[in-house]
Amino acid sequence: MNNVAEKPLDSSRSLQLLSEISGEEPLSQRELSRRLGIAVGLVNSYLKNLVSKGFVRVKNFPSNRYAYLLTPQGLAEKSRLAYQHLSYFTSLYTVARQDYLDMFRRMENAGVREVAFCGVDEVAEVAYLSLQETGLELVVVMDDSRSGDVFFGVPVVSIVEGLHGLRAPLVISSLKQRDGLQQMLHGLGVAGGRIFVTGDV
């Protein structure tokens, strides 16, 4: 029952740790910290939790060194968490896909023919797939961190460059950067009515 209440971030970290520990080489907390990009203290806290649940056991080595090994229960937990995350992301994809499709159809019904994407990540790819089910055309893709890349045949430009002479509505096509992009567009003088955002996914 405890696992059901586990936060997505916690279960994600647990899955990452269990996956790293399941390899052949013995890993120290410092090495786990480096691989996962989190503080050693946080690794220690997660490991204590996993050890207390019987998913991981600690093996002592000479000169006060420790290694962490997956128990059979830990292996089962790793599989459970992997399945849980796959289900979560499948659900996220389905919801995002439908949200964007609904939004694009409303825009199309309102007479919109062209759109611009602002923000490039996995969600932008989902938005693009939804766009293909409508008659709307993607004319500009902008993202300061991806400028110079190509997104489904459309060159990615900086936001300032993309806004120059743009008349098409702007679709926020990144979940991670959503709030920051909206603030930036407002700061650059883009009217709120030109910015389109899907509901929370």
Computed over every residue of the chain, the mean pLDDT equals 85
Phi-psi region of 25 (alpha: psi -120 to 50; beta: other; left: phi over 0): beta
pLDDT band with cut points at 50, 70 and 90 for residue 199: low
Separation of alpha carbons 4 and 11, rounded Å: 10
Distances (CA, A) of 173 to 58, 93, 169: 44, 13, 12
pLDDT above 90 covers a percentage of the chain that reads: 44
Residue 56 and residue 94 in one domain: no
Tell me: pLDDT of 62 over 90.
no
User: At 83, is the secondary structure helix, strand, or coil?
Assistant: helix
Q: What is the CATH number of the domain that holds 34?
A: 1.10.10.10
Residue 150 and residue 122 in one domain: yes
pLDDT for the residue 31:
85
Phi-psi region of 157 (alpha: psi -120 to 50; beta: other; left: phi over 0): beta
Number of structural domains in the chain: 2
Range of the domain at 188: 90-196
Long-range CB contacts (within 8 A, 24+) of 25-33: 26/59, 26/61, 26/67, 26/68, 26/69, 27/67, 27/68, 28/65, 28/66, 28/67, 29/66, 32/68
H-assigned helices in 110-196: 122-131, 159-163, 178-187
The answer to whether 68 and 26 are in contact (CB under 8 A) is: yes
Torsion angles phi and psi, residue 67, rounded to 5? -130, 155
Residue 45 and residue 116 in one domain: no
Separation of alpha carbons 173 and 163, rounded Å: 15
The reply to whether 43 falls in a domain is: yes
Instruction: Give the residue from 19, 42, 70 where a domain finishes.
Output: 70
The reply to whether 147 falls in a domain is: yes
The pairing of beta strand 137-142 with beta strand 154-157? parallel
Kindly report the pTM of this predicted structure. Answer: 0.62
Tell me: pLDDT of 88 over 70.
yes
Query: What is the average per-residue pLDDT within 83-104?
Result: 86
Q: What is the CATH number of the domain that holds 156?
A: 3.40.50.720
Residue 101 and residue 162 in one domain: yes
User: At 122, is the secondary structure helix, strand, or coil?
Assistant: helix
Residue 64 and residue 118 in one domain: no
The reply to whether 104 falls in a domain is: yes
